[in-house]
Chain A
Amino acid sequence: MKKFYPLVFFVLASCTSTLYDAWEETKMATRSYTKQGLAYLGLIEEESRIVATSQEIYQSAEEEFIPLKDQDLSSQYMDESYPHSKEMRTPQKRGAYNAEQFSKPSTTLASIFSTVYFNTDEHVLSQKEYYQVINRIASYMKKNPHVYLSVEGHCDQRASEAYNLALGTRRAQFIRSLLIKAGVESEQIHTVSFGKERPVTKGGTKESFAKNRRVEFKIFQQRS
């Protein structure tokens, strides 16, 4: 009987990892397979990166606010939520983001920084062509580290003004997370929500609503 003691000890020792650890491992594995799947479909590029730890994602966020320490939120890193950078590597002065320096892309760059559109009350892109836009933007941003991007989230006129301000952040943040996953430095990307404050068209038709549910891009290129 004594010869089985080491075996019993080994089995018991292997059970000491918690459910939380098991969940973390599963999550990481899922993330890896998700990435491989998206790459296979051509939705993200090969050189995209995975952010491995919460510390890496959160950076120094806790310096600024007291976060919730809920295990449910630990899965937020699967939620494509990349915290904002503390400071944006701004063109002239670190930390001082000046909106006036950003402008709509020139005619030559307009084909890269195309506006992307969303379905009603959604913050996730549904069409493959928009993921291709994101890939084009990511490629350009990685080749041009001195280019800074402002991602502007807009909504149509149907939901309430206040709710749309919140929804605009979500849309812009989703695009930002796609770009970071595709390898763009987080400090190069800034998001702004305008809700339904700045519609491109004021019509009340389905087509008008669809044109207003969008994310627009503005850029600034630092002179080297």
Chain B
Amino acid sequence: MRNPLFFAMLLPMFLLSTSKTPPIVVPLETVKSLPSLYFSDCSSIGEWGANYKESILEILKDDIDASFHLDLTMGKIDIEPLVSGPMKNPSKELAAFSSDFVLLPKFEGKNLTVKLYEPRFHQTHLVGKVDLGGNLVEDRQKIHQVFDLVHKKIFQQEGIASTKILFCKKTEDIDGDWISDIYEVQQDGHNLKKITSSQNYLITPIMIPNSKKGEGYDYVFVSYEKGQPKIFKGNSLSHISTPLLSLRGNQLLPALSLRGDKIAFICDASGKTDLFFQQLHPEKGVLGKPIQLFSQNQSIQASPAFSPCGSKLAFVSDKEGSPKIYILEIVDAIRSKKIPPVKLLSTNHKECTCPSWSPDGKKIAFSALSEGYRQIWILDLDKKIEVPLTTGPLDKENPSWAPDSIHLVYNTTGKESQIYTIDIVKQKPVKIPTGDGISHFPSWEQR
């Protein structure tokens, strides 16, 4: 007969193991204390009229709202005349507000001038001067760019208002064949534009970081033009595209590093579905040969994603049964030329796919099966916790972070294939109107 104390000790453990513990909900950490911004009223109207002025200011206000970095106060007085001249006693004259910054828009003829005033130092900075064309479609992007400069002035880092989202949309032609082209849209859902007219099948577009020249930019994508899927490099203005790699087999699921100097992809050149890596040069294209980075017998590798510094790769493998996300050190794999050790990232969910590493390096978004549907989850790498970002009955896949590490874009699949943006603060999805067709594989422009 054992000691009764032994069973007394076991009892709480038994009760703990059988009781259903409620899920731990931990809010995602974002910005703790926000700088305050006073949006000065603007008495000037400009040549395009009062309604147009209101539309322009509304765009600016929406950009501030969407940034989540500023505590906004809409002003009822025009501060501009007050701060433009020397003040005898600024602290008294500006006692009506105690904001960290004051935004001063001013319409003059066809121009909009935006200044930023800092009450603490009684300093005014000219942020941008916009030549308004009177066409809201074109002027919208100019306003976004001005806001991004305001953001940079305050935070020393550009905002995301003028960034674009690339995605592909497939449609069925008259003969019943599927064609798929690449589109761009501004992050706020405006200015949808088709950038390829291939009559072919193009998927997984990604803008090459730092490739913007004027309105044009370079991007990589997968094309079935040559029968097998191959990775191409294209330009949004010239519409010229060329194969990026000289490598046999199916080339799929490209991922670029934040600097645009590395590409990872999936290829079956060896006869297996392996993870590959290739150094890139902005002008020369590829540097050296592609490197077989990870391979495993009887398994499939998919969906690589670079860490912000480009030294690690998150990727999907079904080497242990169901698809899971793993991380490997790129340098180790290249040096040893052996299958590198990998670290299992997520174990709490079924079928974890499509990892996307946030540009701040602190989070990984991924898609996983949860109560019958694929949802977007966020893994906090520091705290080692996973929190759901989406809910609801549609499957959600292919998350892609915005440069601010707060916003994401993803697509739904199944009954409705559409593009949505979402932020990790309000967690409210916003549908990007993309018209008829199946829209998917979105990627957010990186800087």
Measured CB to CB, the residues of A under 8 A from B are 57-58, 61, 64-70, 72-73, 75-76, 78-79, 81-86, 96-99, 102, 121, 123, 150, 157, 159-163, 165-167, 169-170, 172-173, 177, 190-193, 197-198, 204
Contact = CB atoms under 8 A, between A and B. Distances in A.
B89 interface: no
A177 B289 CA distance: 26
B253 interface: yes
B295 interface: yes
B86 interface: no
B398 to A, nearest CB: 7
Interface residues of B, number: 57
B247 interface: yes
B249 A166 contact: no
Contacts of B268: 84, 169-170, 173, 191, 193
26 contacts: A58-B270, A61-B248, A68-B337, A81-B270, A83-B248, A97-B226, A97-B228, A160-B397, A160-B413, A161-B397, A161-B398, A162-B397, A165-B266, A165-B302, A166-B273, A169-B252, A169-B300, A170-B273, A170-B300, A172-B250, A190-B227, A191-B228, A192-B228, A192-B229, A193-B252, A198-B178
Contacts of B397: 160-162
Contacts of A85: 248
B295 A190 contact: no
Contacts of A98: 226-227
A166 B303 CA distance: 9
A190 B339 contact: no
Contacts of A73: 295, 297, 339
B178 A197 contact: yes
Contacts of B201: 197
A103 B326 CA distance: 39
Interface in B254-273: 266, 268-273
Nearest to A63: B289
B290 to A, nearest CB: 4
Contacts of A177: 271
B351 interface: yes
Contact of A84 (B178, B227, B271): B271
Contacts of B302: 162-163, 165-166
A99 B224 contact: yes
Nearest to B322: A121
Contact of A65 (B203, B289, B298, B353): B289
Nearest to B252: A165
A212 to B, nearest CB: 13
Given A64-B246, A172-B250, 7 more contacts: A64-B247, A67-B292, A81-B271, A84-B249, A84-B268, A162-B303, A162-B353
Contact of B253 (A64, A162, A192): A162
A65 B300 contact: no
Contacts of B270: 58, 61, 67, 76, 81, 83
A82 B294 CA distance: 17
Interface in B265-285: 266, 268-273, 276
B301 A75 contact: no
B354 interface: yes
A85 B228 CA distance: 13
Interface in B397-429: 397-398, 413-414
A212 B177 CA distance: 16
A157 B298 CA distance: 22
Contact of B269 (A65, A70, A159): A65
B434 to A, nearest CB: 16
Given A86-B248, A162-B398, A76 B272 contact: yes
B357 interface: no
Given A61-B248, A65-B289, A150-B227, A166 B269 contact: no
A72 B336 CA distance: 14
Ranked nearest first, the 7 interchain pairs of A and B with the lowest CB-CB distance are: A81-B271, A99-B227, A166-B302, A84-B248, A84-B249, A160-B353, A65-B290
B219 interface: no
A65 B276 contact: yes
